Amino acid sequence: MPTLETPIEKIPKINPKYRKALGKLGIANVRDLLFHFPFRYDDYSELLPISDLSAGETSTVEGEVAASRQIRTWKKKMRIAEVFIKDGSGFVRAVWFNQPFITNSLPKGKMVRLSGKVSLDKNGLFFSNPAWENATREPTNTAGLVPVYPETEGITSKWLRWQIQGLLRLAKKIEDPIPEKILEQLHLPSLSSALKYIHFPQNPQEYILAQKRFAFQEMLALQIASLKIRSTWKKESAAKIPFDEKSIQNFTKSLPFELTGAQKKAAMQIFQDLEKPQPMNRLLNGDVGSGKTLVAALSALSAINAGFQVSLMAPTEVLARQHFESISKSFSNQNTTIGLLTNSYKMINVCHSEHSEESRKNMDDTSKFRDSSTPLRSAQNDKMVLDIKREELLNEIRAGKIDMIIGTHAIIQKDVRFKNLALVIVDEQHRFGVMQRAYLQQEIKTINDPVKTDPKSVHGAGGLKIPHLLSMTATPIPRTLSLAFFGNLDISVLDEMPKNRKPIETKIINEKQREQVYEFVRAQIRSGRQAFVIFPLVEESKALSELKAATAEHKRLSENIFPDLSLGLLHGKLKSSEKEKVMDDFKNKKFDILVATSVVEVGIDVPNATVIIIEDTERFGLSQLHQFRGRVGRGEHQSYCFLFTGSSTAKTKSRLGALEKSNSGFDIAQKDLELRGPGQFLGTRQSGLPDITMENIANVRLIEISKKYAEEIINDDPDLENHPLLAEEIGNLNRSIHLE
């Protein structure tokens, strides 16, 4: 007698061939098989007399096999099984292609049920490749709502239905992780009933109810996991960073622009968090160009002014270098020392007030760390940017002489240690893979080892303190996804653009209009502007073909379209130093046009670029296209985005039309979520959640109810000692998903 934990190969009629195929579907035991859910249902519930059949309709008939034969078509070398079925009202043909065994399975006189689409040819009505089964058998493949499952080679839905039907009795032995009281309050079925409903529903209401139950189960576990992480994080200790209003006001007054209302609100939320003795865990959720980096810089300055160190981690060297340069410029009069640490760059920038004796001393102390063989990058207005050796830079960080270190994942390597790190900023956190983010979250807790062992540290004796954490993302997250996936974070939203920022004019372009756009680009360049031409990267595995396409397009545009202009080429296969040179040349107007792949999605800020052409736009999500569009519109001039597409379908026009109508990343993200679904929007691999749960992510009511019950459970039973099955469910969830 099989149990839920019985390996799949121990089930009768499941041989090694099936076991291997089932492994591709993630099915290793009976429990896995029962939780392999259908993704849709074929409705064969209408049982008709043969005389009432109509062409084009999906129907079910039941009758006796009157005759059967095999036909071989010599032209196509195809074998056709043809079976005639009769009931009290008439006859109908059924044909199966390349399934000769059918005639042996359906001998004359056998009672059978057929379900499928009815077609019409010169010989009359017929079923083409219908589902069938013995009329004496309880309906599994016909005469009802028939489940269709995710399949793989060698495993059909019909085979899965037979196997699951034979094992469904074991569902009663599965203990329900959701308390019975909650199920009763929400009018949801028990686990065993839900499994029956989802695999073999009698009507649509049953499988919809089952889907809601399983979506609630996953969402409840997700919300409890978030609350537990939040609770654990809040139990940690962090340095209290006092808010120095005067110094922050002096800094903001020195800026050539005024902060937006959203920036001021987000900054104050962060300052308030930093003053608490528990570590901040906040997500800065902002649109392209909404000023996230400046808010992060304000946060960093507050920590630095209080005597602490700050680290900022970016996903690429390009972006890390850009942050280093922009923050160094912003802090030029702030008496700070900023370091850059990546695999390619080890640099220090000493920023200081014009007449500060302390900054003079810092400059003198720091100058000895310059590698004599490496020239100074710049030396103007007493500001220094140095190239130094990695070990020397690490010593400076360890000694607390670097106020802010900016870099890639290189700054969380084992040999990087801080003296008094109090704030960690992670930019474009979604670009770090799930495992990288999990490692980072854990590493933040241990990154300050010297502090924990140094009673003289600013954190105090025995200081078991961890840094505050600020994450940033330029991919706006719709409210429903924030509720579902970021329950353990506090969220600040930047949904307001700077006042001087002009909306980007966006237009869908077909092939016939291509020349007009090229002429428009020429006119813009004649007026002193620059342009991008983008070939977005579809998949990592296609990087080489994408590179070839971009290289070929660069050649075509250079030789045939803009022979009188200067064109640069930027792609992911270039070394960091090569990318940097191309971008510097573009910024310095050595190139009129930059042909690039998806490496420009983040990390390039060229205010003089006013036109962006994006090729193959029908192949990409709206949020990604919005990110590409954000490479222009960053200066005082009106900017333009042209969406090139080879598709003329109404669906493509409607989808891309969202970009024409709106410059709001939050509006675009919501539309993208509605069109592609949460699985594609987030990436199913990133989410780690089952399809049913992902399909219900947009159900705000479901999320809110799940959160309410999660809070009640955690308040009454914080360690889930009285809810061991829920604890197990959360353990399974934690293995497949990482919450920020």
All residues at 6 or more sequence positions from 204 whose CB lies less than 8 Å from its CB, including other chains: 41, 145
Tens-place pLDDT, residues 135-166:
777 776 777 788 888 888 888 888 888 888 88
Q: Which domains does the chain have, with CATH numbers?
A: 46-143 (2.40.50.140), 245-345+391-494 (3.40.50.300), 505-662 (3.40.50.300)
Tens-place pLDDT, residues 343-396:
887 878 887 655 344 444 443 443 333 333 333 333 333 455 666 788 888 898
pLDDT of residue 678: 62
Cα–Cα nearest to 536, from 518, 549, 522, 554: 549
pLDDT averaged over every residue in the chain = 80
Q: Decide which of 64 and 355 is more confident.
A: 64
pLDDT of residue 462: 38
**If you average pLDDT over residues 423-448, what whole number do you get?**
61
Angstrom CA distances, 199 to 21, 40, 137, 209, 393, stand at 20, 10, 17, 12, 61
pLDDT of residue 384: 58
Cα separation of the two ends of the chain: 43
Q: At what angle do helices 700-716 and 204-235 cross, to 10 degrees?
A: 50
Angstrom CA distances, 7 to 149, 192, 196, 725, stand at 20, 20, 21, 22
pLDDT of residue 603: 58
- What pTM was estimated for this model as a whole? 0.72
Tens-place pLDDT, residues 220-235:
988 888 888 888 888 8
All residues at 6 or more sequence positions from 126 whose CB lies less than 8 Å from its CB, including other chains: 92, 93, 94, 95, 118, 119, 120
Partnered with residue 494 across adjacent β-strands are 286
CA triplet 107, 109, 112: central angle to 5 degrees?
A: 80
Q: Are 489 and 282 in contact (CB under 8 A)?
A: yes
Q: Which two tokens stand for residue 689?
A: 């959640």
Q: Is the pLDDT of residue 617 over 70?
A: yes
Helices (H), 172-203: 180-186, 191-199
Q: Is the pLDDT of residue 517 over 80?
A: yes
pLDDT of residue 434: 43
Residue 301: how many other CB atoms lie within 10 Å? 23
pLDDT of residue 23: 84
pLDDT of residue 96: 85
Tens-place pLDDT, residues 396-422:
888 989 999 999 878 877 788 888 889
